[in-house]
Amino acid sequence: MNSAPPLQHTIMAQCPLCARTDAATYAAFPVMTWVRCRCGLIYMRSAADYGVAIAAAGAPNLHYSRRLRRRISKSRHQILDALNHTRPGALLDIGCALGYTLQAARELGLDASGVEIDEAAVEFCRAQGFDVQVGTLSHLPFEADRFQIITMKHVLEHTPDPRQALAEVRRILKPGGALFIAVPHAGYRRAVRDPQHAKFYQPTPTGAEGGHYIYYTPATLTQLLASCGFEVVRVHPHLVHRSAPAPLRLLQYLLAPLRWAAQQVLSALALRKEFWLVAVRRVEMPQTESS
Ligand SMILES: [Zn+2]
């Protein structure tokens, strides 16, 4: 081991949300430095080489596959959340991994496609008959206005250039189409209490938490999406899905008060390790945007 601290180079010189440059150190390690901007965004300001060229997803493995059925069920609820805000149509899952969202979409009768950076995962999905391409956030290999629904689960925190990624997402989403995003919650109690020792920010051989660059809260992500031509219409899971079959919808109505109370407790105690939201693509970009 070299005893000299590794040279860190700049990942984000300014806040990708508000462009301020005076963010305060939040968690600092020999190989990476996290900062928190006054706007609330937490991002990686600098890192040594080892943590930079990190891909989003790891190779598929059996441990992951065992949880597939539970992940498909969760994905179904997430797609139904999006369908509360847009009509049914072609769905794209960005970072589709082993295809659990594609499977859920298929079971809901939607035409589903996926994009994935990991070629082994792409092969795995294709072997199950899914339409999956190799792609990255900087280039999504689809024509403009192609999709009605786009899902991005634990993807956006993997890019240091979320504006570029969201511009690319916006290009291929129809006006009025719904974008579903799930990301880690920067306000998660354990991460806020002691950032220096929180798992969110710890360096690992694949970066922090497998290559994270930015940690969002519902407020900072809503602000970012607004400036990129999206309107956030829902944060956290819906209690009732209008596209669900009638018996399930009745059950959802009955359970709604209980689930609402549970959501209040999760929020009040900052127990959400992740959050999700639905945004709708606006027809026009905001006029006040300065770049
Ligand atoms: Zn900021």
Q: Which residues lie closer than 8 Å to 142 by C-beta, 6 or more apart?
A: 92, 113, 172
Mean pLDDT of 198-226: 92
Ligand 1 centre distance from Cα of residue 228 (Å): 15
Q: Are strands 112-116 and 32-36 parallel, antiparallel or unpaired?
A: unpaired
Confidence of residue 8 (pLDDT cuts 50, 70, 90): very high
| Residues facing 94 on adjacent strands | 115, 152
Cα dihedral sign, 91-94-96-100: negative
Q: In what order do the strands lie in the sheet with 147-153?
A: 131-134, 112-116, 91-94, 147-153, 173-184, 274-281, 230-235
Burial of 260 (0-12, 13-18, 19+ CB in 10 A): exposed
Q: What does the alpha-carbon distance between residue 56 and residue 137 come to, in Å, rounded to a whole number?
A: 10
Q: How far is the CA of 46 from the centre of ligand 1 (A)?
A: 16
Average of per-residue pLDDT across 142-150: 97
Please tell me the distance between residue 276's alpha carbon and the centre of ligand 1 in angstroms: 21
Whether the CB-CB separation of 162 and 220 falls below 8 Å is answered with no
Handedness of CA 82, 185, 48, 1 (dihedral sign): negative
Distance from residue 114's CA to the centre of ligand 1 (Å): 32
How far, in Å, from the CA of 125 to the mean position of ligand 1?
38
- Tell me the CA–centroid distance for residue 17 and ligand 1, in Å: 5
CA–centroid distance, residue 157 to ligand 1 (Å): 15
How much distance in Å is there from the Cα of 45 to the middle of ligand 1?
A: 12
Q: 3-class SS at 232?
A: strand
Q: What DSSP line would sit under 130-153, residue for residue?
A: -EEEE-BTTB--S-TT-EEEEEEE
pLDDT of residue 188: 97
Helix (H) or strand (E) holding 214: strand 214-215
CA 142/CA 126 separation, integer angstroms: 18
Element containing residue 162 per DSSP (H, E): helix 162-172
- Distance, CA 225 to ligand 1 centroid (Å)? 14
What pLDDT is stored for residue 222 in this prediction? 98
**Residue whose entry in the numeric block shows the structure tokens 């806020």:** 192
pLDDT band at 3 (very low <50, low <70, confident <90, very high): low
Q: Which residues contact 194 (CB under 8 A, 6 or more apart)?
A: none
Ligand 1 centroid from CA 79, angstroms = 31
Q: Cα of 35 to ligand 1 centre, how many Å?
A: 10
Tens of pLDDT, residue by residue over 227-282, are 999 999 999 999 999 999 999 999 999 999 999 999 999 999 999 999 999 999 99
pLDDT tens sequence across 95-140? 999 899 999 999 999 999 999 998 999 999 999 999 999 988 888 9
| Section 149-154 average pLDDT | 97
Output the CA 201–ligand 1 centroid distance in Å.
18
% pLDDT > 70, the chain: 92
Q: Among 76-80, 81-85, 207-211, which stretch is predicted with the lowest mean pLDDT?
A: 207-211
Distance 23 CA to ligand 1 centre (A): 7
- What integer pLDDT is reported at residue 291 of this predicted model? 46
